[in-house]
């Protein structure tokens, strides 16, 4: 998505009237381009105010107790959304220690370059692509999933993994985590995989060669919708 297209969709983005795919594409552009910041802030402030145009209404008296009971029930559970959404086998896994952090070297694998061209060519086709930004302490990753080709293209910038370990990407659906393949710590790679049913993607640190199912907590995570 370029500057003009983003600007054209900015009001719809601020008011929440874009499809999920479009919103993600606009969001991706906005995260990298500061030119729209001022306009977006103004639009958002206006949209915030719109909430006050709805007439106030007294909720049923029982709702207060229901809300507080829901809070109490929730307080017992772990709080971050990531914990709630990841598969069961990640719940009890120990959190890997990341005391280390090293400068990563950017390298574009040949297959990555080819796939990236495909992404650029397809960027106008909304329904054919799903994009996501994975965030976490270990670094960042951008995912572009090309539905037609069953290709998950990751652009990653991650800290060096501990000796004897490497990064592995997972698609998460109702049945649990399904491996997409191994990732470099830095660069672009295209992995073959089916994310059509996935509700989230995650990256974890696994023993060299990868695991059949995740053995550590995800270091990066994003929900797909």
Binding site for other proteins (CB under 8 A): 8-12, 14-19, 42-43, 45-60, 63-64, 66-68, 70-72, 74-75, 79-81
- Nearer to other proteins by Cβ, of 48 and 117: the residue is 48
Spatial distance between the Cα atoms of 48 and 2, rounded to a whole number of angstroms: 26
Q: How far is the CB of 131 from other proteins (least distance, A)?
A: 17
Residue appearing with tokens 């490497």: 166
Q: How far is the CB of 143 from other proteins (least distance, A)?
A: 23
Spatial distance between the Cα atoms of 101 and 164, rounded to a whole number of angstroms: 16
Q: How far is the CB of 108 from other proteins (least distance, A)?
A: 35
Sequence-ordered list of residues with C-beta below 8 angstroms from that of 201, at least 6 positions apart, any chain: 132, 134, 143, 152, 169, 170, 171, 172, 180, 195, 221, 222, 224
- Nearer to other proteins by Cβ, of 74 and 209: the residue is 74
Q: How far is the CB of 63 from other proteins (least distance, A)?
A: 5
Cα torsion for 217, 218, 222, 225, to the nearest 10°? -60
Side by side, which strands form the sheet with 200-207? 176-183, 165-173, 200-207, 218-223, 129-136, 139-146, 151-158, 186-192
Spatial distance between the Cα atoms of 16 and 72, rounded to a whole number of angstroms: 31
Contact 150, 193 (CB under 8 A): yes
- Nearer to other proteins by Cβ, of 55 and 164: the residue is 55
Sequence-ordered list of residues with C-beta below 8 angstroms from that of 48, at least 6 positions apart, any chain: none
- Nearer to other proteins by Cβ, of 5 and 173: the residue is 5
Q: How far is the CB of 102 from other proteins (least distance, A)?
A: 28
- Nearer to other proteins by Cβ, of 60 and 164: the residue is 60
- Nearer to other proteins by Cβ, of 21 and 93: the residue is 21
Q: How far is the CB of 170 from other proteins (least distance, A)?
A: 24
């Amino acid at each position: 998505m370029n500057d003009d297209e983003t600007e054209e969709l900015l009001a719809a983005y601020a008011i929440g009237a874009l499809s999920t795919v479009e919103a993600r594409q606009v969001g991706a552009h906005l995260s990298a381009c500061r030119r729209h910041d001022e306009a977006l802030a103004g639009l958002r402030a206006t949209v915030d105010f719109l909430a006050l145009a709805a007439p106030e209404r007294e909720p049923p008296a029982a709702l207060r107790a229901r809300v507080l009971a829901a809070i109490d029930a929730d307080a017992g559970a772990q709080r971050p959304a990531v914990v709630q959404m990841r598969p069961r086998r990640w719940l009890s896994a120990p959190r890997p220690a990341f005391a280390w952090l090293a400068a990563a070297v950017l390298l574009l694998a040949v297959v990555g370059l080819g796939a990236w061209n495909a992404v650029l060519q397809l960027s106008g086709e909304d329904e054919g692509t799903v994009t996501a930004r994975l965030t976490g302490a270990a670094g960042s990753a951008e995912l572009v999933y090309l539905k037609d080709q069953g290709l998950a293209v990751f652009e990653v910038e991650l800290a060096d993994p501990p000796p004897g370990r490497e990064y592995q990407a997972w698609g998460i659906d109702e049945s649990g985590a399904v491996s997409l393949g191994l990732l470099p710590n830095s660069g672009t790679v295209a992995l073959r995989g089916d994310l059509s049913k996935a509700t989230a993607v995650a990256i974890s640190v696994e023993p060299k060669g990868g695991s059949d199912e995740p053995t550590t907590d995800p270091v990066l995570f994003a929900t797909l919708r």
